[in-house]
Structure 1
Amino acid sequence: MTNPSVLYRGGRLFCPGDPQATALLVRDGRIAWLGPDADAPRADEVVELAGALVTPAFVDAHVHLTDTGQALSGLDLSDTRSAAEVLEAVARVAAGLPADAVVLGHGWDESAWARQTPPDAAALDRAAGGRRVYLSQASIHSALCSTALLAAVPHVVSVPGYDGSGWLRRDAHHVVRAAALGSISREQRVGFQRAALRRAAALGIAAVHECGGPGTSDEADFTGVLAMSGDGLPEVYGYWGELLGAAKARELGAVGAGGDLYADGALGSRTAHVSAAYLDGDGCGHGYVSADQVRDHLLDCATHGMQGGFHAIGDAAIDTVLRGFAGAAEVLGVERLRAARHRVEHAELMNKRLIAGFVEYGIVASMQPAFDRLWGGDAQMYAQRLGVQRSLESNPMGALHAVGVPLAFGSDSPVTPLDPWGSVRAAVSHFNPAQRMSARAAFAAHTRGGWRAVHRDGEGALAPGAPATFAVWRTPAGVVNGLPVLVSELPEERGPHDPTPLPVCRRTVLRGNVIYEEGVA
């Protein structure tokens, strides 16, 4: 039995192939027709768009759904501006929890504080009334832990990255993270995951790329997320980040053996592997894989017919990854590597030589424009860690796009919030004018780019025969050249923190099925 046909009419369609189109017909999950209202065919149902804008739905190419749902439902520390405010928030939440509960929070960022010293383990103990406390930093590559939590995993004192203050990084952070998140029941996890996917749908996101793996999430968490895919919610495409884990990734239902397969850490935690030392800390961060390990992982992916990839932020880590690609190319040939569309997540610090490597091997750059908005420029976290010049050279999405590197935009939520139009604006308004992209190119990276990154090349456009996956928008700032106005008319207001109101999603449709409607619970 076929589903009823639905005609959407009276709108504005972002359809470069037919810029005069104001209506589209959905039949059996696909766009059966599009054109002007006057030529519209008959349909079983009619939806009046009343001038609303219709675009392809977004794809968020890097998320952590359980963590996102937890942040939406729990202790959000992203607005705290001091150690005292963190402690006050912990005390407020802890007061309503059982004595054996774990206080879970996320999002503090000391780089924005006047005094950049976070609370120590003893202070967290006092604030939480002796309860275990785990508070992930905005990057999720380090965390503040209470003495009670550290006592629950006594072997952590001998693990790299341990610090008696309770601010843990590297392997020590992975140990305490596993212990803290292990306190969450499966029922709670399912609730967090559904909350995150519902939030994504409400923002016009029809598909997400879930990045899991050892140190990030366990196998049950990962497969549970994949099981929700498309069930009245956005589709979920999973990446399992375990070295030499292509067979495991396939067994778990992943589309790739990559994502959060860590070549290094994060700039916020000073664990990203950089070629020149941090200005506000010791050393150059940490590389977690060798070029030989990268090569062997790519060969393992080829053996199992899987897409691969790595999390690599610092230029030294990206150099290691590319040397591994060169080693794999000696065995497989460059064209076979290119055909796999292997990915690098984040790719924040690059030079012309590294960009050339992405071009040579056909690497997809999975990037987060909001990183520049939140931490770029001459006065935010990157400048503190790296200096102004390296800060302005970071997140080079404009340079990558200019030489044809395929881009797939996402949020890394909850590192940054799910916010697709905000991400498009961040790419358009990069702190460095040389790295800015057009709205059309940035939008393509956040829609069609995400589909191409999972080898679904026929998706992400409004065209006859294409899947009926789109979003309907209110556009308070207007529409120009088929897309919403995202930047101010006033030059002094333009930039990463532009006040122009962003579009509001009215409806999200995935393969013909409505997965979100404004005002419907």
Structure 2
Amino acid sequence: MESTLYTGGALYAPAEPKATALLVQDGRIAWLGPDADAPKADVTVDLGGALVTPAFVDAHVHATDTGLVLGGLDLSAAASAGELLDAVALYATTQPSDGLVMGHGWDESKWPAQVPPTAADLDRVAGGRRVYLTQASVHSALASTALLQAAPRATQEPGFSDTGWVREEAHHAVREVALGSISTAQREHAQRTALRRAAQLGIGALHECGGPGTSNEADFTGLLALAGPEHGLPEVYGWWGELMAAAKAKELGAVGAGGDLYADGALGSRTAYLREPFLGGGGCGFSYVSADQARDHILDCHAHGTQGGFHAIGDAALHDVLEGLAGAAKVLGLDAVRQARHRVEHAELVDKAMIAAFVELNLTASMQPAFDRLWGGPRQMYAQRLGVTRSMESNPMGAMHGVGVLLAFGSDSPVTPLDPWGSVRAAVSHFNPAHRMALRSAFASHTKGAWRSIHRDSEGVLAKGAPATFAVWQTPAGVTGGLPNLVSTNPEERGPDDPTPLPRALRTVVRGVTVFKE
């Protein structure tokens, strides 16, 4: 591989503060320092003063769903049931009469009347086509009559409703049929679309969260085979979320048996498992994994030499997961559990005792700062579901980081869009000032922290000998302390609607290979 010298930049390399250039050779950073000391190379790239940082890692993604949304029916802007139906009607005209109308992102919590359309409404506007529309959390969906009839098992499962709004296992049954309607060519196109979009945003690697009820084995292994700089795309590291299936996870090429291994559901669909009931109905949600099952799953992971983890959002679900991990530590020894760096996805309703357990067990919290931006605070969905007090205590990233919990940031795309700098800004601008993070810490959680969560401790930095995985940025709001300015200097403008322009990727390099160039 020819050597490439990148010169004339501003490098975010705290160990080499005077560095303005770096040399890439054989996929690694062979040298970095001032332009005047730069060695010769086969190719020289003038950075024109642009900022160079480690590339982002999105630690929780669903690539196929992301690609389908990017190339299909995005319902996130629908402000009412009527607007949703208008969007479905228009999109349906572009699909064959026997095709599937698949959309995502509707969020009834933001509507004046928080009642979604029925299956009959979807039948009417979609001309009888199969319709599958995931709610923003992807833990429930609207289905047309034709799709419900194609998934007869759903009628016998918990969470079924003939209104067409399906949750829990009924949703998984309907989702299996909907995803089964996508051809291999459509799936690969969607995956490429998602990975190319990630590259355009300075994301060099993603953690795919697959498993039963989320995707299928062909989707998972197909994505792993498709990705990587050898194909001109970002890397993908997979997590397979199936209980007591560590052997299968390894066979599928996963880095761990976790990710979306559901201990509960989501707050938006009222399926997260809570200690205190949801406001306005829904009880305390649903538990899918007991403490004993969590313990046995972690023991299975250790028996097969792989990491484990769980999706856990509600405080009751988190309690059971942490009890299970503590139980595994009693069998294996605390050091063995700590060395494994098992993961918990989301970890939204965490109290001080749980944070202490994260520290003791050396768990990674794979979190999504955009959740707070979109649904946190005193007036959005969390407040509607939980009340203001619990809403303001959710997603306590700053408190967790402050006591040493390893954080790995991601988007859960398409639940929230691929948007790494937006996620960093959300962590810095948490609705609760007590849970805000410093910019450097938030950036590290979206880069080095995500690498560390899969035991790649040397990655996510610009340093001699490190993999040459980095991004080059235009920074319209300027740079302070080596990183872009992301928040307004006017305190009244800070928050979800901060007008400060975010950086734009000019180039993304993965192990020395340019996977995106503007």
Match of 1:413 in 2: 413
What secondary structure sits across from 2:116 in the alignment?
coil
Asked if 1:127 corresponds to 2:121, the answer is: no
Distance in 1 (CA, whole Å) between partners of 2:500 and 2:446 is 20
SS in 2 for 1:424: helix
Partner in structure 1 of residue 387 of structure 2: 387
Task: Please report the TM-score for the alignment, with normalisation by the length of structure 2.
Answer: 0.99
Q: What are the Cα deviations for residues 360-391 of structure 1, in whole angstroms up to 9, with x where unaligned? A: 11100000000000000000000000000100
Q: Offset at 1:422?
A: 0.3
Secondary structure of the corresponding residue to residue 101 of structure 2: strand
Match 1:153 to one of 151, 176, 194: 151
Structure 1's 155 and 42: CA in aligned 2 closer, same or farther, altered over 3 A?
A: closer
Task: State the partner residue of 1:140.
Answer: 138
| Structure 1 equivalent of residue 318 of structure 2 | 318
2: CA distance, partners of 1:308 / 1:32: 35
Q: Point out the more displaced range, 87-96 or 57-66.
A: 87-96
Match of 1:95 in 2: 93
The offset of 1:124, in angstroms, is 0.5
Q: Secondary structure at the match of 2:141?
A: strand
Query: Counterparts of 1:7-22 in structure 2 under 5 Å?
Result: 7-22=5-20
> Structure 1 residue 63: deviation in Å?
0.2
Question: Offset at 1:497?
Answer: 2.1
Q: Is 2:337 the partner of 1:301?
A: no
Normalized against structure 1, the TM-score is what?
0.98
Match of 1:111 among 109, 112, 128: 109
Distance 1:280 1:417 in 2: 28
In 1: Cα distance, 2:408 partner to 2:342 partner: 12
Q: Report what 1:448 is aligned to.
A: 448
Matches of 1:170 and 1:360, distance apart in 2: 32
Mapped partners of 2:151, 2:34: distance in 1? 65
* CA contact 1:141–1:173 (8 Å) conserved in 2: yes
Partner letter of residue 395 of structure 2?
N
Letter in 2 for 1:383: A
Q: Which runs of 5+ in 2 are unaligned?
A: none
State the partner residue of 1:62.
60
Q: 1:174 aligns with which of 172, 175, 188?
A: 172
Within the candidate set 66, 69, 72, 1:71 is matched to 69
Q: Structure 1 residue 495: deviation in Å? A: 1.6
CA distance in 2, matches of 1:504, 1:154: 47
Partner of 2:190: helix, strand, or coil?
helix
Q: What's the counterpart of residue 348 of structure 1?
A: 348
String of CA shifts for 1:381-404, please: whole Å, max 9, x gaps.
Answer: 000000001000000110110010
Q: Secondary structure at the match of 1:161?
A: coil
1: CA distance between counterparts of 2:336 and 2:25?
37
In structure 2, distance between residues paired with 1:487 and 1:425: 7
1:186 aligns with 2:187: no
Letter in 2 for 1:95: T
SS at 1:274 equivalent: coil
In the aligned structure 1, how far is the partner of 2:300 from the partner of 2:319? 20
* Structure 1 residue 96 displacement after superposition: 2.1
Provide runs of 4+ in structure 1 moved above 6 Å.
none
Between 90-99 and 424-433, report the one with greater CA deviation. 90-99
Contact 1:108/1:137 (<8 A) preserved? yes
Matches of 2:149 and 2:193, distance apart in 1: 32
1:507 corresponding residue in structure 2: 507
For residues 4 and 149 of structure 1, the distance between their equivalents in structure 2, rounded to whole angstroms, comes to 53
User: Corresponding residue for 1:286?
Assistant: 286
Amino acid at match of 2:173: V
Pair 44,378 (structure 1): closer, same or farther in 2 beyond 3 Å:
same
Amino acid at match of 1:15: A
Query: Shift in Å at residue 143 of structure 1?
Result: 0.2
- What is the rounded CA distance, in whole Å, between the counterparts of 1:209 and 1:155 in structure 2? 31
Conservation of the 8 A alpha-carbon contact between 2:339 and 2:362: yes
- Matched to 1:13, the amino acid is L
Structure 1: distance between partners of 2:282 and 2:271 = 10
- Kindly provide the amino acid, as one letter, of the partner of residue 168 in structure 1: V
Matched AA of 2:111: W
Q: Distance in 1 between matches of 2:461 and 2:94?
A: 48
Q: Pairwise CA RMSD of aligned residues? A: 0.7
CA distance in 1, matches of 2:222, 2:202: 23
Shift of 1:158: 1.6
| Secondary structure of the corresponding residue to residue 130 of structure 1 | coil
CA contact (8 A) 1:14 1:53 kept: yes
Deviation at 1:229, TM superposition (A): 2.4
Superposed displacement of residue 152, structure 1: 1.3
CA offsets per residue over residues 340-374 of structure 1, 9 Å max, x none? Answer: 11000000001001111101111000000000000
Task: Give the aligned residue type for 1:10.
Answer: G
**Residue 6 of structure 1: aligned partner:** 4
Once residues 224 and 44 of structure 1 are traced to their aligned partners in structure 2, the CA distance between those partners, rounded to angstroms, is 35
Q: Secondary structure, in 3 states, of the residue corresponding to 2:382?
A: helix
1:226 matched to which residue of 2?
224
Offset of 1:163 from its aligned partner? 1.0
| Structure 1 SS opposite 2:515 | strand
**Residue 494 of structure 1: how far off its partner (Å):** 1.0
SS of equivalent residue, structure 1 residue 34: strand
SS in 1 for 2:289: coil
Aligned-pair CA distance for 1:5:
1.1
Q: Is the 8 A contact 2:153 2:173 kept in 1?
A: no
Gaps of 5+ in 1: none
Q: 1:354 aligns to what SS in structure 2?
A: helix
Tell me, in whole angstroms, the C-alpha distance in 2 between the residues paired with 1:413 and 1:62: 7
Contact 1:134–1:149 (Cα < 8 Å) also in 2: yes
Q: What residue is the counterpart of 1:399 in the other structure? A: 399
Determine if contact 1:80/1:86 at 8 Å carries over to the other structure: yes
2:344 match: secondary structure: strand
Q: Contact (CA 8 Å) 1:373, 1:497: kept in 2 or not?
A: no
> 2:429 is matched with which residue?
429
In 1, Cα distance between equivalents of 2:374 and 2:394: 12
Does structure 1 conserve the Cα–Cα contact (< 8 Å) formed by 2:91 and 2:101?
A: yes
The Cα offsets for residues 250-278 of structure 1, whole Å up to 9 and x where unpaired, read as 00000000000000000000000011100
Percentage of identical aligned residues: 71
Question: What are the superposed Cα offsets for residues 432-463 of structure 1, whole Å, 9 maximum, x if unpaired?
Answer: 00000000000000000111111111100001
What does the per-residue CA deviation read over 1:157-188, in whole Å, with 9 as the maximum and x for residues that have no partner? 22100012110000000000011111100000
1:207 alignment partner in structure 2:
205
Provide the C-alpha distance between the structure 2 equivalents of 1:48 and 1:482, rounded to a whole number of angstroms: 19
Number of residue pairs the alignment of both structures matches? 516
Query: In the aligned structure 2, how far is the partner of 1:469 from the partner of 1:45?
Result: 17
Give the whole-Å Cα distance in 1 for the aligned partners of 2:261 and 2:421: 28
Deviations 1:136-161 (A, max 9, x none): 00000000011111111223222100
Give, as a single letter, the amino acid of the residue that structure 1 aligns with 2:31. Answer: W
Give the counterpart letter for 1:291 in structure 2. A
